[in-house]
Copies of this chain bind each other. A is one copy, B any other.
């Protein structure tokens, strides 16, 4: 699936992943109104609104991008109906040929991590049959519990030819609280990155330069990105924090390898709530998906300029 991701990036010429993290305040009134008219102001109504919102955006941008990253928390907060729409979104995006990164940040130990891995990337056995629970292509994984927590994911990745992105240096302001603390002269995130490189060496596809084990390093920390790019040469880096969180195109160059690959940049509200920004306000609420399309094109050009490809 890492090779599928790379093929999609080459085809679209856009190392971009659109974060499908719908907050209800991003959803246009006309969508909410229709959903609540059908299902009432209920969890089902809210979930339907998220689904229609997502579908509009995916239909408008799927030819421009290689991948999407639905953030499960935004669905999970609406309970079972919300999670059903998470799954519907994953399935729909895959039908459209998009690679799907489930931003689930799961991580536990032993058989518990195995259950998460099976549920999100693999097949669960039921009697003599087996089923995909959620069936994303990649998921994000939290490393705090060490190898016991990550290796069950790696096992499923090898079986299914899918992948993970391990949290190394996150994009948020307080990420330094623990991640930047020095251990033997190096920050914790660098130790985690070294483990990512070691885990990844055991989990390479049959052909290709990149491992099934990738990493998350925030666009808001470009200098750290430069270092981590070298520490984990075979890890694809998922880069959050571009746009709304303050990461600029010019910050991104350090995250890429000389082959022009090795990173994929996420933008969530910068794309999905583009119509709420002054720059795209002219589209109006009804044409929110067109505003998202314009924002994807602008992001693609910003990144291409930063990488010296225009």
Contact = CB atoms under 8 A, between A and B. Distances in A.
Interface of A: 21, 23-24, 32, 36, 41-43, 45-46, 71, 73-74, 76-80, 82-84, 87, 105-113, 115-116, 118-120, 124-129, 131-134, 142-149, 167, 170-179, 181-184, 188, 191-192, 195
Given A145-B174, A173-B148, A177-B147, A46 B124 contact: yes
A46 B113 CA distance: 19
17 contacts: A23-B111, A42-B131, A45-B126, A46-B126, A71-B115, A73-B106, A74-B115, A77-B115, A78-B133, A142-B142, A143-B144, A145-B174, A145-B175, A146-B172, A178-B188, A181-B188, A183-B188
Nearest to A131: B43
A305 B67 CA distance: 57
A245 to B, nearest CB: 9
Query: Copies per complex?
Result: 2
A29 to B, nearest CB: 11
Contact of A148 (B78, B120, B129, B175): B175
Contact of A177 (B167, B171, B195): B195
Nearest to A111: B23
A41 B128 contact: yes
Contacts of A109: 170-172, 175
Contacts of A174: 145-149
Nearest to A126: B46
CB-based closest 4 A-B pairs: A146-B177, A146-B174, A79-B133, A77-B119
A35 B119 CA distance: 20
Given A71-B112, A183-B182, A79 B131 contact: yes
Contacts of A112: 21, 71, 73-74
A118 B43 CA distance: 13
Contact of A124 (B77, B148, B167): B77
Given A46-B124, A105-B108, A149-B172, 10 more contacts: A21-B112, A73-B106, A73-B119, A74-B112, A79-B134, A80-B80, A82-B133, A144-B167, A145-B167, A146-B179
